[in-house]
Structure 1
Amino acid sequence: MDDDVIRFSVNKSSDKNGSPRKGRTTKRVKMSKKAKLNELRFYRLKAKKKMNSPNPEVRIRYKLEKAKRKEAWLIEKLRKYEVPMAPAEAYDPEILTEEERHYLKRTGEKKKNYVPVGRRGVFGGVVLNMHLHWKKHETVKVICKPCKPGQVHEYAEELARLSKGIVIDIKPNNAILFYRGKNYVQPTVMSPPDTLSKEKALEKYRYEQSLEHTSQFIEKLEEELEAYHKHVADYKKSKDEALHIDCKVTT
């Protein structure tokens, strides 16, 4: 009786022999070396065509798009160097009198030794040098060079947070005087974990410099594009006025 029954299989594909067919996986076709070279050549020719275009707007827009792509790439790169801040440890900042501040300021100015903060900015090595200096001295001088206007105050806040030192004075020559505190105890880990290494700090500086220059270049290109549009509008306006005057003369 079973031989007379016809059975159907739903949602199951079968081959010619009647056995169920397994799901096919589409293989991704790899480009050959020649195809890749041809594609690169095509994009280069396309870019060259835009760069050598007789239309200034096409040239400016091409440079602007390229610069904006670079800016986005640099911002993405700089995100990798963002170090999460460690939870702030509870500590009691000491209150100094004016006399104590004056004394520490005078003694700190006389000392020739200092901790430099260069193009890398504030990183673990700077804080380490401060703690090593505080082994024998109460105060330490930190000199920031090169330093942008107002950046020395940012450095002072950052170093005070990382080293738990007290800012005594900030000089016009971008020098900061730090006091270690009366109850200073040298930490076991002198380089804070929420800081960059020397190599990473240099890489970050280079990306920041490149981003700054790229942003300035984008502003310059946008001004050029705006000036070109203004020039075209003025030219069309003067042309229309001249045509209108000619029509009046002929009539």
Structure 2
Amino acid sequence: MGVTKQKWRQQPPPKKKMSRKAKVNQLKWYRLKAKKKMKSPNPEVRIRYKLEKAKRKEEWLIEKLRKYEVPRTPEPVHDPEILTEEEKFYLKRTGEKKKNYVPVGRRGVFGGVVLNMHLHWKKHETVKVVCKPCRPGQVYEYAEELTRLSKGTVIDIKPNNTIMFYRGKNYVQPKVMSPPETLSKQKALEKYRYLQSLEHTSQFIEKLEKELEDYKKHVALFKNHNKGVAIEKISNEDTTVDDPATTSDSK
């Protein structure tokens, strides 16, 4: 009984809930503080405030993006079919003539893309995957990811960011055409937006850091210049006082 009483006494007191008025006052105080920093006559204060704010946003975006990381389940080893050069040439020619394609847009690779590939493979041996917009080199990442998810074979990657996939000789349409370890259409769009925001924020941070560095250099140069001017003035005054020729002429 005594032990339980001691434990109960050792517990910290519960935090008091803030009233709505107190919360509003606190927010007003934070806003006023931020306003003062933004309107500060010192440029360094303004730049540092923006930099801190941008870094906080970057951390928040990274934390948000962790929710969209899909854990990869251990899959059976996929053995891609080895095609001869003649077969590849034939499949390229036939694939280029066909008009069936799957677009990969700003959402990137998600479950719907793989589903559409399987739907095209139901009637066609090949399918084109058109990646727009696509950063330089990103098309190869898409090709690798889609090969893993669809179990297809990459025949060709064109300069216009188009990947041609072959379904395989012994292709069997899977029961679940959209892999479970992929994002939905909505979540893929949300992830894209967060990634875009993170990219812009990181660029903004780099810009602010450069601005701060340039400002510090400018201040250092200005101080050195002022010191040089002051030393020069003092030396000139000393020479005028100590020069005997000037004193004799004045007499």
Per the TM superposition, whether the score is higher than 0.5 is yes
Residue aligning to 2:96: 109
Partners of 1:227 and 1:241 in 2: CA distance: 21
DSSP 3-state at the match of 2:70: coil
1:68 aligns with 2:67: no
DSSP 3-state at the match of 1:115: strand
| 1:33 positional shift | 1.2
Out of 161, 168, 175, the position equivalent to 1:174 is 161
Q: Which amino acid aligns with 1:175?
A: T
Residue aligning to 1:85: 72
1:120 aligns with 2:97: no
Residue aligning to 1:33: 20
1:193 aligns with 2:180: yes
- Segments of structure 1 that go 5 or more residues without pairing to the other structure are 1-8, 14-19
Q: How does 1:1-251 map to 2 (within 5 A)?
A: 23=9, 26-251=13-238
- Segments of structure 2 that go 5 or more residues without pairing to the other structure are 239-251
More helix by share: 2
Partners of 2:70 and 2:178 in 1: CA distance: 14
Partners of 1:49 and 1:144 in 2: CA distance: 47
Partners of 2:188 and 2:73 in 1: CA distance: 18
Partners of 2:109 and 2:29 in 1: CA distance: 45
Runs of 4+ with deviation above 3 angstroms: 9-13, 22-25
DSSP 3-state at the match of 1:141: strand
DSSP 3-state at the match of 2:68: coil
Q: 1:104 to 1:230 in 2, by over 3 A?
A: same
Partners of 1:146 and 1:95 in 2: CA distance: 31
Residue aligning to 1:17: none
Q: Deviations along 1:39-88, whole A, 9 cap, x unmatched?
A: 11100000000000000000000000000000000000000000011212
Partners of 1:170 and 1:36 in 2: CA distance: 57
Partners of 1:215 and 1:10 in 2: CA distance: 57
DSSP 3-state at the match of 1:80: helix
DSSP 3-state at the match of 2:33: helix
DSSP 3-state at the match of 2:170: coil
- C-alpha RMSD of the superposition: 1.8
Partners of 1:100 and 1:184 in 2: CA distance: 16
Q: Deviations along 1:156-187, whole A, 9 cap, x unmatched?
A: 00000100000000011100000000011111
